[in-house]
Structure 1
Amino acid sequence: MSEQTEKKEGLKIVREFKAPKTLVFDAFASPEAFSEWWGPAGSNLSIETFNFKTGGKTHYKMEGNGHVMWGLFQYKNIQRADLLEFVNSFADAEGNITTSPFPMDFPLEILNKITLEENEGVTTLTIQGYPLNATPAQEETYFSIMENMREGFGGTFDQLEAYLSKQ
């Protein structure tokens, strides 16, 4: 993918899971499931608020490698088993959007769209993410770490795959 195409599309990852799409979708839709697989490998995720509906929010804490980070999902559109759109942000313990805990000028909000398609028991998950309401400098930071984000999602989706295999 060319750099120009990446900047137009944002982050795009396609991953296949040997599971029905309802099972993949439900891994996002329940706090017990979500906390079992979401986040960097080796981190422990705990849910503070879980309101999985259009207009709802999920506020969570990730702990690992001596660090504590908070995250926030604000759900924009949920269509059971087909589509999940949400804005993802770093947050504080109270659920307020905050700057990245890393020393970089990262966007405060990332709009993510997940689509699920099933063919003969195999579900293709496509996630696309793009900075929302970001400054040009924040967008530049986002695009400069695209490969790191792909690796991070790869580890997260490995955990999702392990979770799905136990269901």
Structure 2
Amino acid sequence: MKDTVTVIKKRLIAAQDRQRKYADLARKDVKFKIGEVVLLKVSPWKGLTRFGKKGKLAPRYIRPFEILNQVGKLAYELALSPQYQHVYNVFHVSFIKKYNPDANHLIEIEPVEIQVDLSYEEQHVQKLDRQERILRNKSVSLVKVLWRDPKVKEATWELESEMRNRYPQLFS
């Protein structure tokens, strides 16, 4: 009986050593300096959204934050923005990634006029194409219009009569 227990213990220790060896190969000692800018990993748990990000297509890391303080060997205190005031601001190094600033990361924000009902109107840029669609017993005139949305530029086919009424300057 004692022999089997010692054999089991030795095998458990051997398995733990083997797993530790493989884990140590992938482990990197990451050190950050106070004042350095880092990205924060968003790890959504099932049914829980702490940072407003959820789903497969949500980003893995969110905006750059500055390191305020080192707490222990493996934790850092971050300067979170006021929108994340409900989140505790100390994170383990596994949730932090070094931020390499890039000129492509700068996003120009265009002002958007928002109505009282929290909607906005897309602005047309130009008329691209005109087309006649023949249905069973009538024909419909369509116009392809390029829109300037705050986020994307897209072109859609619209009824020519509606576009003439709404945007007469497009047809002048």
TM bucket, shorter chain: under 0.3
Q: Which has the larger share of helix?
A: 1
TM-score, normalised with respect to structure 1: 0.20
TM-score, normalised with respect to structure 2: 0.20
RCO (CA 8 Å, sep 6+): is it higher in 1 or 2?
Answer: 1
Larger Rg: 2
